[in-house]
C-alpha cells in the first residue's frame, strides 16, 4: 500500500528529544522559545506563540482578537471542522462563504455578500497548501475594518505573490502528525500585532505572566520542549520537503491531466503551493476511491461533507446552500504526494488511476 501520508521522524529528531530529556527542562523552556523565533522567521512575522495544537492555536487567536458572543467570523465551508469550530468556542457565529471552484479556497466575492455589522473577522483557509486570494481579502478587510485570521494549518512555507502566508494578519498552524512538518501534536500562532501576541501568551498559560500570578482567564494550551526540539529539526527540512512535494505534484499532473474526466490541481498565478494534499476531481469519486485502495493506492477525501452540512451545524440551524463546496465534496480525491514517495510509487499511482478509469497505459515504460 502506498500511504496517503507518512510522518518523517528520524535519527536527528530522536537525538534532539534525548538531549531535552537529559537536560531535565521539558515544558515551555528554551527549545520552545527558539522554535517560536525560527517559526516566526519562516513566516516573515514578528511574533510566534507555540500551542498544543492547530485547533487551540485558532481558539486562542480568536480570543486574542477579542472575538466573542454576538460576533460573526466569515470562513470556508470546505475545510477541516476546526476552521469553523474555533468561532463556536468563543461564542461567535461562523458564517460560511462559498469557495472558488478552481482553487477550493474561499471566494472573496462571496465574502463580501456575507458581511454584516456583526462581522469581526475573515478566517481564510489556505487549503491543501495553497494561498487564498489574499489581495482581494486584504482589500475587503481594510474596507470593513475586519481582522484577518489565517488558517495556515496546511500551508507551512506556502507563498502568495512572493510573500509567505502567515504574514497577512494573525495566522494559525498545525503541527499534527500528517502535516508537512510535525511535532506529532502541536500548533503555532504567528502575528505582527504585539498586543495580540501578548494576549495569546497569557491565554496559552492560565493568564499567568509570572508563576502563580493570574491576570486573566487562560487555559493550559502549552506545548513541550520535546515537541519544540522535534519541530526545530523539522523546520530545517521544510523547504526541501516542500520542493519534493511540488516536484511530485508536477509529475502526477503531467500524466493525470491526460486522462479524460480527471481535473488536476490548479496553482494560483504567482503563488507557491506546498501540496499538503494533491487533490484531483475524479468521475464517480466514491467507487474510484475504493478501486484505488483495492489497487494499493492510499487515497483520502478532503472533505466528504462540507462543514455547514455536518450534523453539528445542521443541529445549530445552518441550512446554507453553498453549491461549489457541496459539489467539490462529492468530486475531490487526494492522492499520495508526500516526500518519501519513489518514482515507482508515483508511476504506480498514475497507472492505477488510469486503470480505474479504463484509460490505456499512459507511461512510456512498463509497470513493475
Ligand atoms: C489540521 C487542521 C486543523 C487543526 O489542527 P490540529 O493540530 O489537528 O488541531 C485546522 N484547520 C485545518 C485546515 C487543518 O488542516
Mean of the per-residue pLDDT values of the chain? 96
Q: Examine the pLDDT at 365 and tell me if it is beyond 90.
A: no
Grid coordinates standing for 45?
512575522
Quickly count: other Cβ atoms within 10 Å of residue 31's Cβ: 25
Q: Residue 159's beta-bridge partner residues?
A: 164, 272
Ligand 1 contact via 174 beta carbon (within 6 Å): yes
Q: pTM of this prediction?
A: 0.96
Please tell me the predicted confidence (pLDDT) of residue 362. 66
Say how many Å lie between the CA of residue 354 and the centre of ligand 1: 32
Ligand 1 centre and the CA of 235: distance in Å? 18
Closest atom, ligand 1, to C-alpha of 186: 7
CATH number of this structure's domain 239-356: 3.90.1150.10
- What is the tens place of the pLDDT at every residue in 276-293? 999 999 999 999 999 999
- The closest-lying atom of ligand 1 relative to the alpha carbon of residue 53 is 7
Ligand 1 centre to CA of 129 (Å) is 12
Is the model's pLDDT at 134 over the cut of 90?
yes
All cell numbers assigned to 85: 469550530
Torsion angle, alpha carbons of 57, 195, 64, 62, to 10:
-70
> Which residue of 151, 173, 174, 187 sits with most ligand 1 atoms within 8 Å of its CB, as the best mutation to test the pocket?
174
Tell me what pLDDT residue 368 has. Answer: 46
- Is the CB–ligand 1 distance for residue 183 below 6 Å? no
Note the CATH number of domain 11-97+105-233. 3.40.640.10
8-17: average pLDDT? 92
Q: Which residue has better confidence, 193 or 6?
A: 193
Is the model's pLDDT at 55 over the cut of 60?
yes
Q: Name the pLDDT band for 364 (thresholds 50, 70, 90).
A: low
Average pLDDT over residues 79-96: 98
Q: At CA 149, angle to CA 174 and CA 37, rounded to 5?
A: 55
* Nearest CA among 337, 367, 363, 366 for reference residue 2: 337
The residue with cell 509567505 is: 164
Average pLDDT over residues 186-208: 97
| Measured distance CA(33)–CA(28) in Å, rounded | 8
Residue ranges of the domains in the chain? 11-97+105-233, 239-356
Q: Rounded to an integer, what distance in angstroms lies between the CA atom of residue 160 and that of residue 147?
A: 19
Angle between helices 30-43 and 225-256 (to 10 degrees): 30
pLDDT tens digits, 212-254: 999 999 999 999 999 999 999 999 999 999 999 999 999 999 9
Q: What is the mean pLDDT of residues 255-283?
A: 97
Amino acid at each position: 500500500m502506498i500511504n496517503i501520508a507518512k510522518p518523517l521522524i528520524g535519527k536527528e529528531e530522536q537525538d534532539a528529544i534525548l538531549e531535552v530529556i537529559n537536560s531535565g527542562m521539558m515544558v515551555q523552556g528554551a527549545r520552545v522559545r527558539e522554535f517560536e523565533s525560527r517559526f516566526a522567521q519562516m513566516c516573515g512575522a514578528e511574533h510566534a506563540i507555540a500551542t498544543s495544537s492547530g485547533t487551540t492555536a485558532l481558539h486562542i487567536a480568536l480570543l486574542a482578537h477579542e472575538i466573542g458572543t454576538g460576533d460573526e467570523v466569515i470562513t470556508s465551508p470546505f475545510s477541516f471542522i476546526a476552521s469553523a469550530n474555533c468561532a463556536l468556542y468563543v461564542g461567535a457565529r461562523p458564517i460560511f462563504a462559498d469557495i472558488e471552484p478552481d482553487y477550493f479556497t474561499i471566494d472573496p466575492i462571496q465574502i463580501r455578500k456575507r458581511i454584516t455589522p456583526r462581522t469581526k473577522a475573515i478566517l481564510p483557509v489556505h487549503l491543501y497548501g495553497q494561498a487564498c486570494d489574499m489581495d482581494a481579502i486584504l482589500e475587503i478587510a481594510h474596507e470593513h475594518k475586519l481582522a484577518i485570521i489565517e488558517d495556515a494549518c496546511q500551508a507551512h512555507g506556502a507563498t502568495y505573490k512572493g510573500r509567505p502566508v502567515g504574514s497577512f494578519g494573525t495566522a494559525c498552524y498545525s503541527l499534527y502528525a500528517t502535516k508537512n512538518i510535525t511535532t506529532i501534536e502541536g500548533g503555532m500562532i504567528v502575528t505582527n500585532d504585539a498586543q495580540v501576541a501578548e494576549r495569546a501568551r497569557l491565554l496559552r498559560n492560565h493568564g499567568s505572566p509570572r508563576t502563580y500570578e493570574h491576570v486573566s482567564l487562560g487555559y493550559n494550551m502549552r506545548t513541550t520542549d520535546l515537541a519544540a526540539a522535534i519541530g526545530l529539526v523539522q523546520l530545517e527540512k521544510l523547504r526541501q520537503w516542500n520542493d519534493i512535494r511540488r516536484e511530485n505534484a508536477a509529475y502526477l499532473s503531467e500524466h493525470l491531466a491526460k486522462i479524460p474526466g480527471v481535473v488536476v490541481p490548479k496553482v494560483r498565478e504567482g503563488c507557491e503551493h506546498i501540496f499538503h494534499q494533491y487533490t484531483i476531481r475524479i468521475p464517480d469519486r466514491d467507487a474510484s476511491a475504493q478501486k484505488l485502495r483495492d489497487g494499493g493506492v492510499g487515497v483520502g477525501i478532503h472533505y466528504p461533507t462540507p462543514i455547514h452540512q455536518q450534523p453539528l451545524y445542521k443541529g445549530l440551524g445552518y441550512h446554507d446552500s453553498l453549491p461549489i463546496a457541496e459539489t467539490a465534496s462529492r468530486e475531490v480525491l487526494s492522492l499520495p504526494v508526500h516526500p518519501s514517495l519513489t518514482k515507482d510509487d508515483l508511476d504506480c499511482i498514475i497507472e492505477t488511476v488510469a486503470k480505474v478509469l479504463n484509460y490505456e497505459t499512459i507511461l512510456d515504460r512498463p509497470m513493475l
